[in-house]
A and B are shown apart, each in its own frame.
Chain A
């Protein structure tokens, strides 16, 4: 991390704290901030304490963690694949995590045992990575990795569609469809405790790869000559992504584009250096997700908009914009 990035990191941290506070204080029922804060420490009305400790707090913290995981995973993958269009979804981890969760809903297991949902999501992401490793081989090139990721992704997407197709009743189909849209609504401390450690472990793995990612910008051969363990780096980036993204998707559903948009916004301010992009992307990812989640709660729609819908609506045009800009270089 470089000294010149301190103002950026400080600014983003401040913004994150402000958004955390806002996320905690804003809800469907307006409550004065003082009462809300008191309830956080267990004082005041019992129902309010429950809302503060069991609903608002986990939602805000989970939003920040998931956003940080998606943001940093995007930055790390873009650095690793040397492609500004790369996204955690690219290596198939997101879709496979979705599939795992969908299967649990399909077989009705999630109704009797709620924790099976996140567990199945992470198992899906883990299986996807094992499959990719098997498909691409141990010392696979970046291109082979992307192709294997695409294969896994399309397989997971078809199986998810199959589950929707064969859903036993309309209610189950609706539940799957809603879950696929991605949301932070009604997430509890259980979700937070289950996903949190994995996301943090993923962040730690990815954050420690900064220098190797910088060296990789000079090409694999030169990076290896500078002492970078290419196979080790690949394992760390893939595992870090699975932990951060798999755990996130498993508890919140599919929330796309954070990993694409955030690093792109910050690339210029961090001098295009992959190592300097990692932590700012985590902070900004957390901010963006919290802001989007605030938006879905504040928008006067009949049914609450799903977070994945909002992030997609913000992200997809961004993807077009990026493609148009990259198109000139690709010709």
Chain B
């Protein structure tokens, strides 16, 4: 059972605080959606959780061990990270890109093990990119590339997956596909943290939501239904949401903007 926990995370960029006393936790089986307006520090928090950014205050722990004390290779095997707008600099073949995700498991003597090959094939199959295997990654469409990069992250078979806007730039079919895939991974025991801009997807597929506001504070956290019920999302985003429910699953639609700053003043 993997658990990643952040307590009282503070981080500033210059004089501007990006994260202010953020508490966050994700455990195996959860799909936690990280939401909030632009510049709220979602991606920054994700980098801190992945151990890629040192917070100026607070601590991140992986299964009770401070993340900074977890050996680099061990951390890479247990925490998968998908960068926002991930791309490959070189025109590599798609299957070579996905193979790079196995780096944390690579033996010093090189060569692909049967386990490597199985994980790569499974990840490509899950992300529906098997048919692109021999294509050049830089020639793909944005949506195809996003799925290849997700397959790259999945190939490492991490216990915890941190994905920064994996659904951005995808068509509705593949948005639903990616979110169902992430929700399915969580149901199968992976701990998933996903940064999302699409509130409809967040409300529909996440088991928990953490809402950051523009000051880098946690404005609310809990099950999607609870966040939708108390109107905090409408306040933080400055929008009016249309809400509904189908088969016990809540859905939302941003309907019109509300002047967020005047309201606060």
Q: When the two chains form their complex, are residues B79 and A218 in contact, meaning their CB atoms are under 8 A apart?
A: no
Asked whether A225 and B86 contact (CB < 8 A) given A1-B110, A272-B92, the answer is no
Q: When the two chains form their complex, are residues A225 and B80 in contact, meaning their CB atoms are under 8 A apart?
A: yes
Q: When the two chains form their complex, are residues A219 and B103 in contact, meaning their CB atoms are under 8 A apart?
A: no
A177 and B230 CA atoms in complex are apart in Å by 79
A105 and B103 CA atoms in complex are apart in Å by 48
A35 within 8 A of B: no
Return the contact of A274 from the options B80, B90, B97 (Cβ within 8 A): B90
Q: When the two chains form their complex, are residues B52 and A221 in contact, meaning their CB atoms are under 8 A apart?
A: yes
Q: When the two chains form their complex, are residues A222 and B86 in contact, meaning their CB atoms are under 8 A apart?
A: yes
Contacts of B92 in A (CB 8 A): 217, 271-273
A237 and B225 CA atoms in complex are apart in Å by 52
What per-residue 1/0 map shows which CB atoms of A55-96 lie under 8 Å from chain B?
Answer: 000000000000000000000000000100000000000000
A271 and B134 CA atoms in complex are apart in Å by 11
A236 within 8 A of B: no
A117 within 8 A of B: no
A82 and B138 CA atoms in complex are apart in Å by 14
Tier of interface size on chain A = 20 to 34
A273 and B89 CA atoms in complex are apart in Å by 10
Q: When the two chains form their complex, are residues B50 and A218 in contact, meaning their CB atoms are under 8 A apart?
A: no
Return the contact of A214 from the options B83, B86, B100 (Cβ within 8 A): B100
**Those of A207-232 within 8 Å (CB) of chain B:** 211, 214-219, 221-222, 224-229
Asked whether A225 and B50 contact (CB < 8 A) given A214-B100, A215-B100, A215-B103, the answer is yes
Contacts of B73 in A (CB 8 A): 227
Asked whether A219 and B96 contact (CB < 8 A) given A224-B52, A227-B73, A272-B90, the answer is no
Contacts of A226 in B (CB 8 A): 76, 100-101, 103-104, 156
Asked whether A273 and B72 contact (CB < 8 A) given A219-B87, A221-B52, the answer is no
Q: When the two chains form their complex, are residues A218 and B88 in contact, meaning their CB atoms are under 8 A apart?
A: yes
A214 and B156 CA atoms in complex are apart in Å by 15
A225 and B73 CA atoms in complex are apart in Å by 9
* Closest A residue to B53 using CB positions: A221
Q: When the two chains form their complex, are residues A218 and B110 in contact, meaning their CB atoms are under 8 A apart?
A: no
Q: When the two chains form their complex, are residues A229 and B76 in contact, meaning their CB atoms are under 8 A apart?
A: no
Asked whether A273 and B104 contact (CB < 8 A) given A219-B83, A221-B47, the answer is no
What per-residue 1/0 map shows which CB atoms of B67-80 lie under 8 Å from chain A?
Answer: 00000110111011
| Min C-beta distance of A330 to chain B, whole Å | 14
| Min C-beta distance of A208 to chain B, whole Å | 10
A219 and B156 CA atoms in complex are apart in Å by 17
B106 within 8 A of A: yes
Contacts of B86 in A (CB 8 A): 218-219, 222
A226 and B76 CA atoms in complex are apart in Å by 5
B81 within 8 A of A: yes
* Closest B residue to A208 using CB positions: B108
Q: When the two chains form their complex, are residues A227 and B72 in contact, meaning their CB atoms are under 8 A apart?
A: yes
Q: When the two chains form their complex, are residues A218 and B104 in contact, meaning their CB atoms are under 8 A apart?
A: no
Contacts of A224 in B (CB 8 A): 52
B66 within 8 A of A: no
Q: When the two chains form their complex, are residues A227 and B103 in contact, meaning their CB atoms are under 8 A apart?
A: yes
Q: When the two chains form their complex, are residues A271 and B96 in contact, meaning their CB atoms are under 8 A apart?
A: yes
Asked whether A217 and B110 contact (CB < 8 A) given A225-B81, A226-B103, A227-B73, the answer is no
Q: When the two chains form their complex, are residues B47 and A272 in contact, meaning their CB atoms are under 8 A apart?
A: no
Contacts of B104 in A (CB 8 A): 226-227
Contacts of B100 in A (CB 8 A): 214-215, 217-218, 226
Q: When the two chains form their complex, are residues A229 and B72 in contact, meaning their CB atoms are under 8 A apart?
A: yes
A1 and B89 CA atoms in complex are apart in Å by 20
Q: When the two chains form their complex, are residues B83 and A222 in contact, meaning their CB atoms are under 8 A apart?
A: yes
Contacts of A271 in B (CB 8 A): 92-93, 96
A322 and B36 CA atoms in complex are apart in Å by 44
Return the contact of A221 from the options B79, B83, B89 (Cβ within 8 A): B83
Contacts of A272 in B (CB 8 A): 90-92
Contacts of A274 in B (CB 8 A): 90
Of B79, B83, B106, chain A has the most CB atoms within 10 Å of the CB of B83
Q: When the two chains form their complex, are residues B91 and A227 in contact, meaning their CB atoms are under 8 A apart?
A: no
A-B contact pairs, 14 of them (CB 8 A): A214-B100, A215-B100, A216-B89, A217-B88, A222-B81, A222-B83, A225-B50, A225-B76, A225-B79, A225-B81, A226-B104, A226-B156, A227-B76, A272-B90
Add 11 more A-B contacts to A217-B89, A218-B97, A219-B83 (CB < 8 A): A211-B103, A214-B103, A215-B100, A222-B86, A227-B73, A227-B103, A227-B104, A271-B92, A271-B93, A272-B92, A274-B90
Q: Which residues of A contact B (CB under 8 A)?
A: 1, 82, 211, 214-219, 221-222, 224-229, 271-274
Q: Which residues of B contact A (CB under 8 A)?
A: 47, 50, 52, 72-73, 75-77, 79-81, 83, 86-93, 96-97, 100-101, 103-104, 106, 110, 152, 156
Q: Which 7 A-B pairs have the closest CB atoms?
A: A227-B76, A225-B81, A272-B90, A226-B103, A217-B89, A82-B89, A217-B90
